[in-house]
Structure 1
């Protein structure tokens, strides 16, 4: 067992862990930045909502469903030309971030929409009765009330991005997935494969625990 562990290049594994954290962290920032307003727009333009617009909702919903229906491995390949234009390369950590954002933002938008639908309509109606504008209702009532659900959505999305980041190794995206493919699969180093899988499991568990704590904290009234 000791010999098995000493044969592993721990420096390489450390770099791969850092690359995975960077990919997930940066992409999650942009996913929330893009997905939150998209989710709010889906909610507001939906049926019997404040800004009901069936056509706008249908278009937004179609785009979100279209992006969500494309398998991430295919999305990685399809987006290579766009990724090269945006960041100058389709390889490594920078090359993986644009597909991660495009793959994660629609998911998060749907989770935000679902969280907003869970808000008691009585709160919205009471705010309307006080003469509040739509932005005041969104920022003063809807988002604060839906915050626990949105945080739960962030948790789910971050875990999904971990799996997507691992899949990006198929096209040389860097991180633990790339390490598992190059060493664990192509060079038949089972020890590297086992360690990378274990590290991904630990990362997912830590993200879930952190997300649960945040949801619990902001759910207290």
Structure 2
């Protein structure tokens, strides 16, 4: 696969790449699952929203901002007890998904909220005039209308998760970051570090290209 690596390192590289993909996919799934309802709640309870409620909007916004503003490497260490409670351990790929999911949920919730804000208010008002309920407006009007922005938000989140997953390797999270630290840095093997960087760049480029293509397809429709 990579001509300048030994067969043993190639095998480790494949395993590390699979671990990285597992972390990114698992964390992204959880982030979308929880981030979308959070974004809808933030948008609905915001000033001028469908269910304006500052008592809900402000504390929730502060909590999301607090998670977003915490550097990921610090967040990983800070929630180790919670990670152990959820995953049963604080090291390994499965454990790394917990802080990755937490960080990306806060991140994607804000991006989703921004996408909802860009929806033409006239469309929402038209739905209300036709008798649509709040839930119907949120799920059947806002989400479809904001779909290109939502896909773009998912793309940005996936790209960020690739970087986060590499940081997770520094504290025993596994994946390409762990491989780069253990072999490329600690064992002074620059060819391994270079290979990790190249593969991560290819991951990011592939995700970005796929996301951009999906956004263009959805906008045409």
Task: Quickly name the TM-score band, shorter chain normalised.
Answer: over 0.9
Equivalent-residue separation in structure 2 for 1:182 and 1:206 (angstroms): 26
Q: Which residue of 2 aligns with 1:80?
A: 80
Structure 1 segment 24-35 matched on structure 2, within 5 A: 24-35=24-35
Q: Which SS does the other structure have where 1:208 is aligned?
A: helix
Determine if contact 2:5/2:192 at 8 Å carries over to the other structure: no
**TM-score (normalizing by structure 1):** 0.97
Q: After superposition, give the CA deviation of every residue in 1:107-131 in whole Å (9 maximum; x if it has no partner).
A: 1000010000000000000000001
Structure 1 segment 4-153 matched on structure 2, within 5 A: 4-6=4-6, 9-153=9-153
Q: Which residue of 2 aligns with 1:163?
A: 163
Determine if contact 1:8/1:192 at 8 Å carries over to the other structure: no
Equivalent-residue separation in structure 2 for 1:143 and 1:66 (angstroms): 26
Q: Which SS does the other structure have where 1:197 is aligned?
A: helix
Equivalent-residue separation in structure 1 for 2:134 and 2:34 (angstroms): 20
Equivalent-residue separation in structure 2 for 1:9 and 1:162 (angstroms): 21
Cα RMSD over matched residues? 1.3
Determine if contact 1:8/1:191 at 8 Å carries over to the other structure: no
The structure-2 alpha-carbon separation of the partners of 1:52 and 1:3, relative to structure 1 and needing over 3 Å to count, comes to closer
Equivalent-residue separation in structure 2 for 1:104 and 1:3 (angstroms): 35
Equivalent-residue separation in structure 2 for 1:12 and 1:59 (angstroms): 45
Q: CA deviation at 1:27?
A: 0.7
The structure-2 alpha-carbon separation of the partners of 1:57 and 1:6, relative to structure 1 and needing over 3 Å to count, comes to same
Equivalent-residue separation in structure 2 for 1:61 and 1:111 (angstroms): 13
Equivalent-residue separation in structure 2 for 1:198 and 1:8 (angstroms): 19
